[in-house]
Each structure stands twice: as C-alpha cells, then as structure tokens.
Amino acid sequence: MGLTIASLIKKKAKMRVDLLNIYKSFGANDVLKDVNFNVQGGEICALIGENGAGKSTLMNILGGVHQPDQGQIVIDGKVVQFLTPADSLNAGIGFIHQELNLINDLNIYENMFIGRELTKSNGMLDRDTMIAQTAEIFDRLGLDIDPRTMVKDLDSSYKQVVEISRALLMKASIIIMDEPTSSLTVTEIQRVFNMMRTLREQNVGIVFISHKLNEVMQICDRYVVLRDGEIAGEGNIDEVHTGDLARMMVGHEIRVISLQREKEDREEALRVEALNDGHNFHNISFSVRKGEVLGITGLLGDGRSELFQSIFGAGTSYRGQVYLHGEPIRIINTTDAVEKGLAYLPRNRKENGIIKDMSVLENASVVIWPYISKFGFINTVAQTSFFDSQVKKLQIKLAHRNNLITSLSGGNQQKVVLAKWLSKEPSVLILDNPTQGVDVGAKEEIYDIILNLADEGVAVIVLSSEAQEIIRVCDRTLVMFHGHIQGELSSSEMNEHEIMRLATGLEEIQVR
C-alpha cells in the first residue's frame, strides 16, 4: 500500500546537519574555502550569493553529487560520508535541483514516482494509487492539474511545480531548494511558500537558495551569504534588510533608484494594431519608439510571451497589422524577423536560449553563421573578432571561448544569449524575463546593457513578471490581463500597487 500525504508530513524529530571546514576546488579554481554551514529541522535557512559564489557546489556536497577535498559532514553529531546522491537521500536529505530533472515523454505521475514506483502484490505497477497520491499533492497545493498529463505539454513554470511536488514524496528531514521559484507566478510562489511553512511546522529543515531577496525576507528565518567561496555574512532575517543582503553578496552598495532617463522624442520603431490570435491575446495595439525601454508585465497566462512570439514569427498566426519604422510588414518566420531587424531573447534560457552542447563562441555567433560563411565554411577570423568585441562590450566573464556554454554562470550565459542577438544589430530587441535566474550583481550589469542599447537608439521591449524590475528600468509599461492590455503606466504612476491592481484585473484603466 502506498504512502499517504498525511504520513509524509507527520511531525518528526528535528535533524541537524553541519558542514564543517569545507574546501573544494575544480582544477586551479578554489570554489569553497573553509566554509562552515548548518541547518536544522523546523527552520528555513537562506543560502545566497552571486552566481559562482559556491552555493550550488556546497549543496552538491551535501547532496552527494560532489565530495569535499577537506572538511566533514555531520548529521546529529555523527560524521557521515556521501559518495552518491542516493547516500544523501537515504540519510534524509532531499535535493530539488535548479536544472529541471523531468522526463518529457512520461506522464506527471510517472515522473513523480520515478525510481520509487508503487507496485501491487502481483508485481505490476499500481498506477491508480500513484495517480491518486499525485492528485492529492496537487489538491494540497491548490493546483488543478491532471496527473496523467504528459510533462512535455507543461510550460516551464508547471514543470517546476512538479519538481517541488515530487519532494513531498521523499521522506526527507532536510530539503534543499535551489531557485525553486525562478519561473513561477506570484500565486504559485505563495502556494510553494505555504507548503514550505507546513513542512517547517512538521520539523522539516529547508535550505532556500534564491536570488530574489524579497522572497528571502518573506519566507526565511536565517541567512548565510557566500562570496567568492567564503562566508560573507550570516544571521537572523529579522535583523537585516534586502540592501544589507545585497551588499554582502557583491561587496558594495547596490543601486536601488529608478534607472529611467529623459528620452528625446524619437521616431517610432514598432507599432502593432488590433493583433488577435483568438486565444492567447486579443485586440492588442501599442507602439515603441527608438531609444525607449517599454515594459510588458502581468501574471502567468496574461499572453505577453505568446504575443511577442507571434510578432517574431515563432508563435501562432494572428489577425491585425504590424508596422516597422512606419511600414506595414508580415513576418513569416524567425529568420525573416532577424532579417527585418528584430531580435527575441526567450524567457527560458536553459530550454530555449542556449545550445548546451556548443561552446561559448558558437552560442554567441550562431545567428551570424550564414553571413560569415562561404561554401559551408565559417570565417573563423570574423567569428572570433565579433565575439571578442561582444565580450568586451557586455563584460562577459569566461575562462576560454571554446569552453561549453554551461561552464559559465547564469548571468554570463544570459549575456552570451544577448550577444547572439546583438550580432545582427537589431533595431527592436525583445527581452522575455531577461534577468531570470541571475544574481543581483548580474542584474545590474544587464540593466546597464539595456540602457546603453536604448541610448544607441535600439527600441527595447522588456517582458517581466517582476514589478520592481519594470519600475527600475522601463520608461513606461503596459499591464496585461487575460490576453488584453489592461492599462498603461508611466513615470510616477509605475508602482507595485498599480501594477498588481491592473495585472489582477481589479479595475480597468483607459489606455493613454
């Protein structure tokens, strides 16, 4: 007979885990240097730091993925050694990795129970019980999802929800959550937080790794900050502010003021009139000028990504008209869009932005291959020259251009994706969640890149679910709700209250 959810959350004795004097190097790169970290049942501890600070490496040691060069893992006073992830899980430590670990060609319930399948007395799979228990978990989280749905049919946010839900099937006393909310909506994040609070009440300890400092302040009890492989600060959350945490992470003050600048009245770059695909977006009209940063925001299901995918030639067909520099156009496909001067950075870098099996150089230059090739051979001199100029312009940090793209931090991967699209010098740049999964320092660098591009005359459209990001970097914003533009905000009108009011459809405002 299978486990019930009640048994999974049954209150247990508090476990305490200590990582003592941990050192870890990869080649000549010293990733962790004499790090001491602890977490115990009944608390949520934030582990924060910039990309490359050593957070994932430290947790991979606790999760049995890596072994320390020096140092000890101690559980409830007993020294243990984890040679495999199974050793860690068997000791009561569950790990939800940042990289999605689902099989697209299986149902949700099959992914939920993979490696822990339930069977009947005759040895056959007990599918009915697995489906029922998966449905019970989803009911607890307030999710209306059929457990028999194929994972490939889910968008990235619901794939993350499945990953988090699967952790409830592990009898873990300590759960590591590595960026669990990076692609979730406000509503889904609150469901996850409610789940975390329930687990904390049942004496489960949680390590919460996140770049979203407002979330850290909201859900965590303690914090530990890593910088350059060393502890840069630790303490109780109620004794600090987000500014304090950001300063510990990067070693200096972080700007918090709006980055909006006075813009001269430039000519129109892109205009759309009455766009409608009959499903995802309806009667959409707006324009953006050269040198302007236009924000598009809302909640999941608002249709903004589908709208711009269609404009870029990567989505559904639509009725209505698109104008580029005052001329009516009809984009056939993405190649046509690039030729016409549009560029689109997709929202999910790992699934749609990078080619994991290619080098940094190849990822950064793939868009211009047709233009620097002759008889099927790439002009490597031109390719390298372009790449080096982009590395300097975007301040991309890398060891070697021929290393795999996955060797870079999230922020630098995002810059490489940007470099790929900037290679064709677009007049309109569409950025879908441009800072998703990057740390506060990398965010500031990406914001500077956006503003510099706008100063050069590029029309930049930023699609983002983060109200603070929209407020900081955009000149004005359109708020969408259920496929419609609910309102337009600019200057002092842009604040979190107004954005959320429009995004939730509480009241219509006439578009100015």
Q: Answer whether residue 189 shows pLDDT above 70.
A: yes
Both structure tokens of 435: 């800072």
The strands making up 174-178's β-sheet, listed across from edge to edge, are 93-96, 174-178, 205-209, 44-48, 222-227, 230-236
Q: Can you name the residues that pair with 236 across neighbouring β-strands?
A: 222
Q: What is the pLDDT of residues 299-328, one digit of tens each?
A: 767 899 999 999 999 888 899 999 999 999
* 346 vs 12 pLDDT, higher one: 346
* 246 vs 110 pLDDT, higher one: 110
Both structure tokens of 225: 């900050």
Note whether 168 and 136 are within 8 A (CB): no
Predicted local distance difference test score (pLDDT) of residue 510 = 41
Predicted local distance difference test score (pLDDT) of residue 68 = 95
**Cα–Cα distance, 180 to 212 (Å, whole number):** 11
Q: What is the pLDDT of residues 327-372, one digit of tens each?
A: 999 999 988 998 999 999 887 666 677 888 889 888 888 888 887 7
Q: Which fold has domain 40-56+92-250?
A: Rossmann fold (3.40.50)
Residue 272's contacts (CB-CB under 8 Å, 6 or more residues apart) are 284, 285, 286, 287, 311, 320, 321, 322, 323
Q: Answer whether residue 270 shows pLDDT above 90.
A: yes
- At residue 462, φ and ψ (nearest 5 deg) are -110, 115
Give how far Cα 449 sits from Cα of 171, 233, 259, 275, 498, Å.
Answer: 45, 30, 12, 30, 27
**Cα–Cα distance, 407 to 302 (Å, whole number):** 34
Q: Can you name the residues that pair with 216 across neighbouring β-strands?
A: none
Predicted local distance difference test score (pLDDT) of residue 508 = 44
**133 burial via Cβ count (<10 Å: 0-12, 13-18, 19+):** buried
Predicted local distance difference test score (pLDDT) of residue 512 = 37
pTM for the structure as a whole:
0.63
Closest listed residue to residue 403, CA positions, set 8, 27, 7, 12? 27
β 44-48/222-227 pair status: parallel
Confidence of residue 126 (pLDDT cuts 50, 70, 90): very high
Q: Does domain 266-341+426-512 have CATH number 4.10.320.10?
A: no
* 266 vs 311 pLDDT, higher one: 311
Percent above pLDDT 90 for the chain: 43
**Cα–Cα distance, 382 to 365 (Å, whole number):** 10
**Cα–Cα distance, 318 to 156 (Å, whole number):** 24
Average pLDDT, the chain: 85
Predicted local distance difference test score (pLDDT) of residue 472 = 87
**Cα–Cα distance, 446 to 438 (Å, whole number):** 10
Note whether 395 and 416 are within 8 A (CB): no
Predicted local distance difference test score (pLDDT) of residue 366 = 85
**Cα–Cα distance, 176 to 206 (Å, whole number):** 6
DSSP H helical segments within 114-227, as ranges? Answer: 127-140, 156-167, 186-201, 213-219
Q: What is the pLDDT of residues 146-156, one digit of tens each?
A: 999 999 998 76
Residue 302's contacts (CB-CB under 8 Å, 6 or more residues apart) are 480, 481, 482, 483, 503
Mean pLDDT of 69-87: 95
Q: Answer whether residue 502 shows pLDDT above 90.
A: no
Give how far Cα 501 sits from Cα of 215, 282, 467, 494, 509, Å.
Answer: 20, 20, 12, 11, 10
The dihedral sign for the CA sequence 99, 104, 109, 111: negative
410: left (phi over 0), alpha (psi -120 to 50) or beta: alpha
Asked if the domains 40-56+92-250 and 266-341+426-512 are classified in one and the same CATH topology, the answer is yes
Note whether 487 and 508 are within 8 A (CB): yes
Provide the residue type at 455 as one letter. D
Both structure tokens of 119: 């069977």
Predicted local distance difference test score (pLDDT) of residue 259 = 62
Confidence of residue 446 (pLDDT cuts 50, 70, 90): confident
Predicted local distance difference test score (pLDDT) of residue 347 = 78
Confidence of residue 254 (pLDDT cuts 50, 70, 90): low
Residue with tokens 């990504």: 305
Q: What is the pLDDT of residues 272-290, one digit of tens each?
A: 999 999 889 999 999 999 9
* 116 vs 67 pLDDT, higher one: 67
Q: What is the pLDDT of residues 448-462, one digit of tens each?
A: 889 999 999 999 999
Q: What is the pLDDT of residues 197-235, one digit of tens each?
A: 888 988 889 999 987 888 999 999 999 999 889 999 999
Task: Of 1-15, 24-38, 69-83, give the range with the top mean pLDDT.
Answer: 69-83
Q: What is the pLDDT of residues 132-180, one digit of tens each?
A: 999 988 886 667 889 999 999 987 667 877 877 887 677 788 999 988 8
Extents of the domains making up the chain: 40-56+92-250, 266-341+426-512, 358-423
Give how far Cα 263 sits from Cα of 405, 426, 476, Å.
Answer: 36, 19, 12
Confidence of residue 11 (pLDDT cuts 50, 70, 90): low
Note whether 181 and 192 are within 8 A (CB): yes
